[in-house]
Amino acid sequence: MNYRVIDPEKYYRGDVYRRFTKDCRCSVSMTARVDVTALAVVSGQQGRRFYVNFLYLLCRALNSRDDYKMGYLWETDTLICYDEINPTQYVFHEDTETCTPVYTHWCEDYERFYAAALADLEREKTERAGKFDGAGHPNWFDASFLPWISYDALHVELPDGYLFYAPIVNWGKYREENGRLMMPVTLRLNHAVADGYLIARFFGLLQDEIDAFCSGSIRTALRPDA
């Protein structure tokens, strides 16, 4: 885990940062529908899981811009930016109707990430050893799939006084709309480090990653399983 310290006085969002850490602590949450038509087709052609492919592209989008990798060290009141952030996945257990977290390390190499994320998921299904450990995983973000519903809006609320800067991402079941498969995706960020533009920009970056993956621009995307 590496990061660099950000001087609030030199931070390009400095004035906004001061306002939303001192005067008006709050979060911003936005839901948009993402076109995953091609991703569903490509995943089927690969014989690979749509979910893990989407998780890979989600991580690429969030790691592509520093604004989504911000952190806060409350012990020293320090603003930081991580070199990279990793996904906290969740496994749902049908028998108990509960979830356990799965900490997967981000890797830009598609083959390595896909294999690691899938192995982490399968292991947790049987071991059920996952425990919430935010202190031990400071540069992890929540990535939670809601397969039971294709929703229109979702709000994740945190206490306004708590300066938590990691993204929280949820997505639901995709559905057909005008011949396309559209999937609801929700991003929550602290307003101190993000505004409406940066959240909207995330959805554009995510769609770009999906389109590039499906067109083969990410070279490893269409490699068959060994």
pLDDT band at residue 134 using 50, 70 and 90 as cut-offs: confident
Both structure tokens of 72 = 């806060």
35-74 residue pLDDT tens: 999 999 999 999 999 999 999 999 999 999 999 999 999 9
- What per-residue confidence (pLDDT) applies to 221? 45
pTM of the model: 0.93
Question: Is 170 exposed, middle or buried, given 0-12, 13-18 or 19+ CB atoms closer than 10 A?
Answer: buried
Residue with tokens 């977290």: 101
Both structure tokens of 207 = 């769609």
171-223 residue pLDDT tens: 999 999 999 999 999 999 999 999 999 999 999 999 999 999 999 876 554 44
Give the chain's domains with CATH numbers. 3-222 (3.30.559.10)
Nearest in space to 56 (alpha carbons), one of 117, 147, 139: 117
Q: How far apart, in whole angstroms, are the C-alpha atoms of residue 76 and residue 59?
A: 28
